[in-house]
Structure 1
Amino acid sequence: MKSQSSTLLAEVRTFRQHHPDVRYVDLIALDIPGHFYGKRYPIEMLEKVAAGSPLKLPQNAVLLGTQGGLFKIGDYCFHDGDPDANRRLVPGTLKPVSWESQPLGQMLITSDGTEAPIEFEPREVLAKVLQRLHNKGIHPVVAFELEFYLFDKTLDHGLPQFARDPLSDDADDQPTLHIERLSRFSEVLDDMAQTAKDQGIDITVITAELGPGQFEINFGHLDDGLRAADWAALFCRSTRGVALKHGYRASFMAKPYLEHPGSGMHVHVSLYDGAGNNLLAAHQQQPLRHAVAGCLELLPHCMPIFSPNHNAFRRLGGTVNAATRACWGFEDRDACVRIPESDPRNLRIEHRLASADANPYLVLAAIFAGLEHGLDTQREPIAPLNEDRTSGTDFPLDMLDAVRTMQQHPSVREKLGAEFVDVYCENKRQDHLAFQQEISVREYRWFL
């Protein structure tokens, strides 16, 4: 603890030397719906926290709904006295915030690694799954890919408008994969990439996607799953901020346009032993087949994680590369679990089902749980799509069915934690019911 405190204290003092104009730092963590919550600390107080002073926030901040409200979940929120819970600073995450009007810093905080971690905190759920894998001698390497849309900054009666082409000032309303779109929007995209790098995120490939104003950003491969999920979470925050600075809105919403492709979160995962050997490539790739089988078996029972809201279910079975059944294939983007062509050293799975607005900590935890389940049970997977285009198993396509399916599955409860599963499912159930409490314009048009 003393060593960690000295490291954190050195990090804060170095930051202050390099950024003497920063007076406040946002201490932030991701809640269940994938939004950041936290507190803005004077940098002098941050130095005290780094030196060992307690850092406490309400435990139930993790349970907030999508709109920020609290739901009654067991004894939480309304019958527990709303207690505080300890958090700690995440080393290496103190970075400048460049998209605000005033100099500011930000730093991740978490309950994992404290004396009493919050069992349903997303980062803690992932930390426990990773620790179990490490205890088995399994060391994952992870890379995220995130798709998002750019919109005009101004909404039209609450509806998004196509991003304006900065060269012509026309709406970028044509689906295209052309490289020219990267040039036309280079100013905002370059700023997004540089800002992410300033946050310590390894940005690699930038792609113009098929939807109008849609792009994809790839991250470098990491042998630290927690850090990889940190990158995905922080990238969403910085990208939205940079977009507003340039007169756009950036959104990771799963399906903003019914007629255009949705936005996904693709996760590449390979598994290594302590000596650096690729476990999936051993024994003529038999462990790869077992891992795929485990992913497909648990996938239908983790749908509230992969599709965390009503809109995310709209993306499934959409116009491009979004399956409606649990399936796999070699070099096949129609599959939920794709096996990219690679040499044995880099053999990996690409999990393509999650929506871009899913919680990256929980998505990664669910993927790891599936891989672990498959390696433990050693079952053969169903036929790949390359052999049978009809291959696949059904999964829930609405939230209420999905939470029932998730909450009852013994392996999901065991691997992700029964307390987390109960809390998460009730949070999603209540969020979905709250969403239904507003009468839409279409409802009046149809039934008035």
Structure 2
Amino acid sequence: MKSHSSTLLAEVRIFRQNHPDVRYVDLICLDIPGRFYGKRYPVEMLEKVAAGSPLKLPQNAVLLGAQGGLFKIGDYCFHDGDPDANRRLVPGTLKPVSWEAQPLGQMLITSDGTEAPIEFEPREVLAKVLERLHRKGIHPVVAFELEFYLFDRKLADGLPQFARDPLSDDPDDQPTLHIERLSRFAPVLDDMVQTAQAQGIDITVITAELGPGQFEINFGHLDDGLRAADWAALFCRSTRGVALKHGYRASFMAKPYLQHPGSGMHVHVSLYDAAGNNLLAAHQQQPLRHAVAGCLELLPHCMPIFSPNHNAFRRLGGTVNAATKACWGYEDRDACVRIPESDPRNLRIEHRLASADANPYLVLAAILVGLEHGLDAAREPIAPLNEDRDSGHDFPLEMLEAVRAMQQQPALREGLGAEFVDVYCENKRQDHLAFQQEINAREYRWYL
């Protein structure tokens, strides 16, 4: 413990030496909907926390709804006295914030690794899944890919507008899937990449996607699943900030336009043993097939995680490369679980169903539980799309049905934790009901 505190203290002191103009540091953590909450600390107080002083925040901050409010979930929030819970600093995440008006720093905090971790904190949920896999001799290597849209900074009557192309006055004149768009938006994209790299994130590939103003960013592969999810979360935060600085609005909203492709979160996962052998490639890839079968079996029960809000369900079905069933295939982007062509050393699955605004810790945890379930059950999967284009299991396409399916699944309750599943499902149910408490103009046009 002492050496751990010494490492953190050294990190804070080096940061202060390198950034003497920074007076405050945002200590941040992801809540259930995937938004950051936290506190802004004077940097000298951060040094005391690094040296061992307690760091406490309300436990129920994890339970915030999409709009920041609290819902009654069991005895939480309104019948528990709103207790504090200990958090700890995540080593290696203290970095400068370059997109704010004043010099700032930021650092991740978490309850995982404390004496009493919060069972429903997303990072703790993933940490427990990874710990269990490691005890079984399974070591995941993970890489995220995130799609997002650039919009004009100002909304028009509450609606997003295409990002203004510096080389064209016509908002519809944006070359799709064309490298020229990367050049047209180079200043903001380059700043996004450099800012992410300053956060310690390994950015690899940038792609102009099909939607107008839509892009995809790929991250490097990591043998630390927690850090891989940290990267995805931190990239969303920095990208929104950089976009505003350049006069744009960056959004990871799943389906901002009905007529254009939605934005997804693709997760590449391979599994290795302690000696570095790819477990999925053994025995003529039979473990790969078992892992796929487990993923597909649990996928319909994970929809509140993969599609965490009303808008995310709009992305599913009838659009480019967005599956309508739990299915798989080799080199097939219509599949939820795609097997990219690779050599045995790099054999992996690419899970393509989650929306870009899903919680990366929970998405990865759900995928890993599916893979684990498949390896344990050792069952053969359904036919791949390469053999049968109609192959697949149905999954829920609206939130309340999805919540019921998730809450009743025994393997998921065991793999993610029953307390987490109950809390998460009630949070999603309440959020969905709160979203419905507004009559929009269309209802008056149809029914008045």
- Confirm or deny a common fold (TM above 0.5): yes
CA contact (8 A) 2:340 2:348 kept: yes
DSSP-derived class of the 1:87 partner: strand
Kindly indicate whether the alpha-carbon contact (under 8 Å) linking 1:147 and 1:264 is maintained by their aligned counterparts in 2. Answer: yes
What is the CA–CA distance in structure 2 between the aligned matches of 1:438 and 1:122, rounded to whole Å? 29
- Secondary structure at the aligned position of 1:47 is classed as helix
Give a deviation string over 1:239-294, Cα, whole Å, max 9, x none: 00000000000000000000000000000000000000000000000000000000
Distance 2:170 2:387 in 1: 45
TM-score by length of 1: 0.99
Q: Could you say what secondary structure the match of 2:261 adopts?
A: coil
* Contact persistence 2:166–2:184 (CA under 8 A): yes
Deviation at 1:446, TM superposition (A): 1.2
Instruction: Tell me, in whole angstroms, the C-alpha distance in 2 between the residues paired with 1:41 and 1:8.
Output: 16
Tell me, what secondary structure is at the counterpart of 1:372? helix
Greater CA drift, 310-319 or 67-76: 310-319
Asked if structure 1 preserves the Cα contact closer than 8 Å seen for 2:55 and 2:86, the reply is yes
Question: Structure 2 CA distance, aligned partners of 1:16 and 1:444?
Answer: 57
Deviation string, structure 1 residues 405-435 (Cα, Å, up to 9, x no partner): 0000100000000000000000000000000
Alignment of 1:219-258 (within 5 A): 219-258=219-258
Native 8 Å contact 1:12 1:47 kept in 2: yes
Note the C-alpha offset of 1:174.
Answer: 4.5
1:316 is aligned to: 316
Give the conservation status (yes or no) of the 8 Å contact 2:73–2:426. yes
Contact residue 174 and residue 181 of structure 2 kept, 8 A: no
Distance 1:389 1:70 in 2: 44
Counterpart Cα distance in 1 of 2:172 and 2:354: 26
Aligned sequence identity (%): 91
Unmatched segments (≥5 aa) in structure 2: none
CA offset at residue 170 of structure 1?
A: 3.4
The answer for the alignment partner of 2:392 in structure 1 is 392
CA contact (8 A) 1:165 1:172 kept: no
Report how far residue 101 of structure 1 moved.
0.5
In 2, the alpha carbon distance for the partners of 1:175 and 1:445 equals 36
- Aligned equivalents of 1:329, 1:173: Cα separation in 2: 35
- Deviation track 1:151-189 (CA, whole Å, cap 9, x = no partner) reads 000000110001000123432554611110000000000
Alpha-carbon spacing, 1:82–1:173, altered in 2? closer, same or farther (3 Å): farther
- Tell me by how many angstroms 1:444 deviates: 1.3
Distance in 2 of aligned mates of 1:323 and 1:304: 16
State the alpha-carbon separation in 1 of the partners of residues 169 and 134 from structure 2.
52
1:39 aligns to what SS in structure 2?
A: strand
Aligned Cα root-mean-square deviation (Å): 0.7
Mean CA deviation greater in 69-78 or 437-446: 437-446
For residues 198-222 of structure 1, the C-alpha deviation after alignment (integer angstroms, 9 at most, x for no partner) is 0000000000000000000000000
* Residue 324 (structure 1) shift: 1.1
Matched-pair contact (CA < 8 Å) for 2:165–2:174: no
Instruction: Give the whole-Å Cα distance in 2 for the aligned partners of 1:439 and 1:20.
Output: 51
Aligned length: 448
CA distance, structure 2, for counterparts of residue 417 and residue 175 of structure 1: 46
CA distance in 2, matches of 1:319, 1:165: 25
Provide the rounded CA distance (Å) in 1 between the counterparts of 2:84 and 2:380.
Answer: 46
Per-residue deviation, residues 116-168 of structure 1 (Å, max 9, x unmatched): 00000000000000000000000000000000000000000110001000123
Q: In 2 relative to 1, CA 308–173 (structure 1 residues): closer, same or farther, beyond 3 Å?
A: farther
Q: Which residue of 2 is the match for residue 163 of structure 1? A: 163
Write the deviation string for residues 339-365 of structure 1: whole angstroms up to 9, x where unpaired: 000000000000000000000000000
**Contact 1:175 1:211 (C-alpha < 8 Å) held by counterparts:** no
Cα distance in 2, alignment partners of residues 169 and 64 from structure 1:
41
Alignment check: 8 A CA contact 2:315 2:322 kept: yes
User: Is contact 1:163–1:172 with CA below 8 Å preserved after alignment?
Assistant: no
SS in 2 for 1:14: helix
> Take 1:308 and 1:230, find their aligned partners in 2: how far apart are those partners?
19
Q: Verify the 8 A CA contact 1:172 1:213 in the aligned structure 2.
A: no
- Secondary structure at 1:25 match in 2: strand
Measure the CA separation in 1 of the matches of 2:430 and 2:154: 30
Q: What SS is found at the alignment partner of 2:134? A: helix
Q: Tell whether the 8 Å contact from 1:164 to 1:172 is kept in structure 2 after alignment.
A: no
Structure 1 contact 255–263 (Cα < 8 Å) conserved? yes
**How big is the shift at 1:441?**
1.1
Q: Is the 8 A contact 1:330 1:386 kept in 2?
A: yes
Distance across 2 between alignment mates of 1:223 and 1:169: 45
Structure 1 distance, partners of 2:215, 2:31, is 25
Q: What is the CA–CA distance in structure 2 between the aligned matches of 1:168 and 1:322, rounded to whole Å?
A: 30
- Per-residue deviation, 1:309: 0.2
Structure 2 distance, partners of 1:168, 1:341, is: 38
Give SS of 1:255's match. Answer: coil
> SS where residue 338 of structure 2 aligns?
strand
8 Å CA contact 1:72, 1:78 repeated in 2: yes
User: For 1:318, what is the secondary structure of its paired residue?
Assistant: coil
Q: Distance in 2 between matches of 1:437 and 1:67?
A: 13
* Cα shift at 1:82: 0.1
Q: Provide the C-alpha distance between the structure 2 equivalents of 1:137 and 1:201, rounded to a whole number of angstroms.
A: 27
SS of 1:326 mapped into structure 2? coil
Preserved contact between residue 262 and residue 318 of structure 1 (Cα < 8 Å)? no
Structure 2 CA distance for aligned equivalents of residues 395 and 218 of structure 1:
27
Cα distance in structure 2, aligned partners of 1:151 and 1:173? 14
Give the whole-Å Cα distance in 1 for the aligned partners of 2:440 and 2:292: 41
User: Distance in 2 between the 1:2 and 1:165 partners?
Assistant: 53
- Alpha carbons of structure 1 residues 407 and 175: separation in structure 2 relative to 1, 3 Å: farther
| Deviation of 1:445 (Å) | 1.4
Deviation by residue 1:302-347 (Cα, 9 ceiling, x = unmatched): 0000000000000001420001100000000000000000000000
Report the secondary structure of 2:259's partner residue. Answer: coil
- SS state at 1:86 partner: strand
User: How far apart are the structure 2 equivalents of 1:446 and 1:157?
Assistant: 21
Offset at residue 64 of structure 1 (A):
0.2
User: Is the partner of 1:204 in helix, strand or coil?
Assistant: strand
Decide whether aligned partners of structure 1 residues 303 and 257 sit closer, same or farther in structure 2, where only a CA change above 3 A counts.
same
